[in-house]
Amino acid sequence: MMIRVSDISLPLDYNEQMLKKAAAKKLNISTSDIVSVSLYKRSIDARKKHQIHFQATVDVSLSINESVSAARCRSASAVKEYKYEMPRSKRLDKRPVIAGSGPCGLFAGLILACAGQRPIIIERGRDVDSRTSDVERFHRTGILDTASNVQFGEGGAGTFSDGKLNTGTKDARIRKVLLEFAENGAPQEILYLAKPHIGTDMLKTTVKNLRNKIISYGGEVMFETKLTGIRSAEGKLTAVEIERYGYKLELETDNLVLAVGHSARDTFEMLNQSGICMEQKPFAMGVRIEHLQSMINRSQYGDLYKSPYLPSADYKLAVHTAGGRGVYTFCMCPGGEVVAAASEEGRLVTNGMSEFARDKINSNSALLVGITTSDFGSEDVLAGVRLQRKLEEQAFQLGGGNYCAPVQRVCDFMNKQASVNAGSIIPSYRPGYNFTSLDRCLPAFMTDSLREGILLMDNRLDGFSYGDAILTAVESRSSSPVRITRDKTMQSVSMRGLYPCGEGAGYAGGIMSAAVDGIKAAEKILEFSNI
């Protein structure tokens, strides 16, 4: 048995011996009583800039009676090893189908495959290696492949990302997701860091290994295969229509995990026309803001900003304007780049990504304004999509009509004047950019909120409103503008056997919550197989 000891403070340059010593001190025992020690959680405490240190929880195995030692210390408890419990199930008559190979679809597929249900995953985009070439070509030349891009393809929207794995969701299945990622190629540190991340470079391998695991358990993955229709009888799903290499086919199935992500606008239209209940959903839009990473490090770490023991610093800021509108940063990518994330012709979208090392010169983050359904300007369920498209088209035109992005320096944006060139910060967006005024592509309620938000955020993070910081438009796909209504069984209220899941259906907001939602849907399918 092991015991877990929390509340351990460690200097930035600690080593294993110091870790043992600190744990022994907490337990009031000798270091020699400790056989082994491993990190369970580690975070950075940077509240006092002159005393930045790590805060850790460790698992120790002792050569003396562990229960006695644990009893002596209030910060110690017995370690309960996490084990994922697969629900019992009967073999389904027909193979379950999963639309989408993002984190939601992949994890639903993994659970169903491991349960012996031989799921079929259909993915409109291409496998991760082909997709990497497609994305690189787009970023180099501005030639977009609408089927294979930063939104569509193996691994889903998060493959070309920072791969941040933190989430507000408190669900025991998070451990399952982290363990699967770590087993399949992600860095082992994700198992103990308070703010874990994988990075685009390592995500690609991880996603591929997860696919191979699903296949090794009897699952099947079909790329370049799009869900184009659903068939039902008496309110129950009976088959899905798919399009593969230009041919339409039908797959009979009783279960479809709909994990198509927030950019599957044609699929939303198909579902709406098929009478599947959907609702408008508030979301957020804005711009990417880019600073020098060294400036963020200095603001967060003070004089220690060059310490080799500290990672590239991040931030998370949220404020309310005087008018009550929320403005917040999202998906901050330390040492990363702003990416062209479009998936439709003539529409421009930004996002951010980093490699595992997070060692690029700039940091970037989404700077978003809350959009309520009353901003949509219509009761139509897809009005949010129309608003997104409108801003994406305006950004495309303002950038020059070739996927170059409109950009502006913060000083000019605050003064409502067009930028003509960069200052000390060079925009990282590829394939290129045009200096302009973002007021020309964003509505006034957004630009006014952004201006107010930037000033308020500067009170929280020194230098946030730095004049040379770069704004790139438009960040329009931070979350889904629709919710596909489901009940407690996770099935659509309109059709039994249809499981709307993940970010696109409005039930997740990042890699971890989408993966957990996929696991839950798979569990429901397994549970119902017993009835």
Q: Cβ of residue 100: shortest distance to ligand FAD, in angstroms? A: 3
Q: Cβ of residue 17: shortest distance to ligand FAD, in angstroms? A: 35
CB of 56 or CB of 471, closer to ligand FAD: 471
CB of 225 or CB of 321, closer to ligand FAD: 225
Residue 520, helix vs strand vs coil: helix
Residues that bind ligand FAD (CB under 6 A): 99-105, 122-125, 150-153, 156-158, 160-164, 226-227, 259-261, 264, 267, 331, 339, 341, 351, 353, 502-504, 508, 510-512, 514
CB of 221 or CB of 514, closer to ligand FAD: 514
Per-position DSSP letters for 156-199, written without gaps between them: GGGSSS--B---S---THHHHHHHHHHHTTS-GGGGTBSS-B--
CB of 123 or CB of 412, closer to ligand FAD: 123
Answer yes or no: are the C-beta atoms of 137 and 126 closer than 8 Å: no
Residue 508 C-alpha from the chain's centroid:
9
Here the contacts of 264-272 (C-beta below 8 Å, separation 24 or greater) are 264/100, 264/124, 264/504, 265/344, 265/382, 265/385, 265/389, 267/99, 267/227, 267/504, 268/382, 268/385, 268/482, 268/504, 269/382, 270/227, 270/228, 270/229, 270/230, 271/230, 271/484, 272/381, 272/382
CB of 341 or CB of 490, closer to ligand FAD: 341
Per-position DSSP letters for 272-306, written without gaps between them: HHTT--EEE--EEEEEEEEEEHHHHHHHHHGGGGG
Q: Cβ of residue 504: shortest distance to ligand FAD, in angstroms? A: 6
Q: Cβ of residue 3: shortest distance to ligand FAD, in angstroms? A: 32
Q: Cβ of residue 166: shortest distance to ligand FAD, in angstroms? A: 7
CB of 160 or CB of 396, closer to ligand FAD: 160
Helix axis angle for 103-114 and 173-183, nearest 10°, is: 90
Q: Cβ of residue 297: shortest distance to ligand FAD, in angstroms? A: 19
Could you give the CA distance from residue 319 to residue 442 in angstroms, rounded to a whole number?
20
CB of 62 or CB of 471, closer to ligand FAD: 471
Beta strands in 97-167 (DSSP E): 97-99, 120-122
Q: Cβ of residue 154: shortest distance to ligand FAD, in angstroms? A: 7
Instruction: Work out the number of other CB atoms within 10 angstroms of the CB of residue 263.
Output: 26
Q: Cβ of residue 263: shortest distance to ligand FAD, in angstroms? A: 6
CB of 26 or CB of 358, closer to ligand FAD: 358
Could you give the CA distance from residue 63 to residue 66 in angstroms, rounded to a whole number?
8
